[in-house]
Structure 1
C-alpha cells in the first residue's frame, strides 16, 4: 500500500533528519514505530500521510508517486488514511459526536446511515456519556480517545497513530489496542508510533525502530 525507496528528508539547507529509508507498509499489516524522542517518528508519519514530501527518494502510496500527485488530488487520497495526531486537532465548536462523525459528513453521507456506528464507537472508547460535550471541556485523555474514534470511524485502509495511548490509563490503553487489532483484522494496515514497550510487548508485530535518522525493521 505504501512503498519507501531511499527516502531522505531535510528542512531547508539543514542536515537530513531522515536518511535512506526503504520499507513497505503491506496491506493488512500491523507494525509499531518506535525510537528515542527526537528521532523523527512524527516526521515519518507525516511523510506516510503525504503532508510532507521527501527531499529525495521515492514514496509510492496506493500506487501513486507522491511527488507527482497534483495538489488537488491529495485530499481525496488522504481520506483513505486515518491519522491520530498528538495534538488531537478536534474542532472546538463541534461536539464530541460531531467531531467523530465529521469524516462521514465530509463524504456526504446521510446521518441515518452512520449515527448508530458513531454512538457505538464512542461507547467503546469510554465516551458514551460525553457525546454532546465540546472539546474545551474534555480532559486530555478524553480528547485523545475522541481523536482515535474520528480516525477509525470510516474504516480507513491505513491507520497512522502517534502515541495513541499516551494520555490514558493501562486498562484503556489495552482497550484501544484491541480496537486497533480488530480494525486490522477487518483489513486496515496499522502503524502505531509509541514509546510504550509494555504496549508493544502485548502484540506480536513488526517493530520499526528509528534512530539517528535511520530505520531498522524487526519482523
Structure 2
C-alpha cells in the first residue's frame, strides 16, 4: 500500500513492519491473536479496526515490542527483532511514535515540556525546536494550554498533547490507538489532516479505530481484526 502522497515512495525499501505467522497468548490460555501474516510498507497509511476486544491494542503492542509473540517472526525496518541486540532494539523503538489511550504524560511537566521531551532526550537545544513545538501545539488546539500541567487538562486536551508528542520527532512509523476518541468531529478531522501530512512527509501511519465515519474519509487499506485473525481490506 503506497502513501497517500507517494512521490518519494521507494519500492525496494524493507517493510516498516513484517509479521510472519505470529501468534500470542497470555499464560496457558488460548491464543488471542493467531496466524498474523502482513506487512506495513514504508510511507503507507492504514487503519486498524475491529470490534471492541478484538486485539487492536495487543497488535500495536506487538509492533512496539512491549508484548512478545508466542510464535512467529516479527521484523521492524528489515531487522528480525529476535536477533538484534538491546542497543539496536532501542534504536528501532526510537524510529516509532506512539499515541496511547492512557496518554502517558508526565504530570510534573507542562504541556510544552511533555511535547518537547523526545527532542530533549535526543540532546537537542531548545532554540532548535521551540518554534516547531509551539506551532504544533497551536495546530492541535493547545496554543493557550502549553504552560499548563496535565492534571488540569481535560481528557481531550491530554489526548491532543500525546498526539503532538508522538508527531514532534517525525517518526518513521506512527502507531495511534484511538487517537480521536475524546475529541469532537471537527477536531477529529483536523487531527486526521495532521496524520495525512505526516504521511506525506514519509511516515508510515497506523491508526487503530472503530470510528467508521473517520475511516470513510480516506480510501486507504484497512487491517481488520476478528476472532483472533487479521483480514486485509485493500
* Alpha-carbon shift at residue 53 of structure 1 (Å): 1.7
CA RMSD across the alignment: 0.8
Q: Which SS does the other structure have where 1:67 is aligned?
A: coil
Q: CA deviation at 1:144?
A: 0.1
1: CA distance, partners of 2:92 / 2:121: 14
For 1:214, the equivalent position in structure 2 comes to 229
The count of residues paired between Structure 1 and Structure 2 equals 219
Question: 1:12: Cα distance to partner?
Answer: 1.5
Gaps spanning 5+ residues in structure 1: where?
Answer: none
Listed as ranges, the gaps of 5+ residues in structure 2 are 1-15
1:213 offset after TM fit, Å? Answer: 0.5
Aligned to 2:81: 66
SS at match of 2:82: helix
- After TM superposition, which residue ranges in structure 1, 4 or more long, deviate above 2 angstroms? 68-76
TM-score of the superposed pair, with normalisation by structure 2: 0.92
Q: Residue in 1 aligned with 2:27? A: 12
- Determine the C-alpha separation between the residues in 1 that align with 2:87 and 2:170: 23
What is the alpha-carbon distance in structure 1 between the residues aligned to residue 188 and residue 147 of structure 2?
Answer: 24
* Superposition deviation, residue 35 in structure 1: 0.3
Correspondence for 1:123 among 128, 133, 138: 138
Pair 1:23-2:38 in alignment: yes
2:100 paired residue among 85, 102, 105: 85
- State the 1:51 CA deviation: 1.3
Shift of 1:63: 1.5
TM-score, normalising length from structure 1? 0.98
Q: CA deviation at 1:54?
A: 0.9
How far apart, CA to CA, are the structure 1 residues paired with 2:86 and 2:229?
Answer: 29
Aligned counterpart for 1:167 among listed residues 166, 182, 189? 182
* Structure-1 residue corresponding to 2:209: 194
For residue 140 of structure 1, the aligned residue among 151, 155, 169 is: 155
Distance in 1 (alpha carbons) for counterparts of 2:171 and 2:87: 20
Residue 14 of structure 1: how far off its partner (Å): 1.0
Task: Identify the residue that residue 103 of structure 1 maps to in structure 2.
Answer: 118
Cα drift, residue 64 of structure 1:
1.3
